[in-house]
Amino acid sequence: MNTDNSGPAFPSNRDMAHDSKYDHAPGMSMRDYFAAKAMHALLNNASAMEGAWHVEAKAAYAIADAMLAARAKP
């Protein structure tokens, strides 16, 4: 499965690939950023504290994927 990560969450105008002070790494993707925000919201729910972290993580990425799909629609 090829997942759309929608590029970096915090893009930079600086060409970091040609600057020796920085590693060439794009950092967090938009998908990861959205999933982290969704995970935070899910964990604020008391039922999320039951220890089913893998279920909450999958739900966070499902929410992130829905957010990316909504952004892509005009």
pLDDT at 35: 92
Q: Give SS3 for 29.
A: strand
Q: Give SS3 for 10.
A: coil
Domain-wise residue ranges, the chain: 28-72
pLDDT at 50: 63
Instruction: For residue 73, give both structure tokens.
Output: 């629609």
pLDDT at 10: 76
DSSP class of residue 8 equals B
Give 10-residue mean pLDDT values along the chain (74 residues).
74 61 68 91 68 79 92 77
pLDDT at 62: 93
* 38 contacts 55 by C-beta, under 8 angstroms: no
Instruction: Report if pTM > 0.75.
Output: no
Angle (nearest 5°) at CA 56 between 55 and 60 = 120
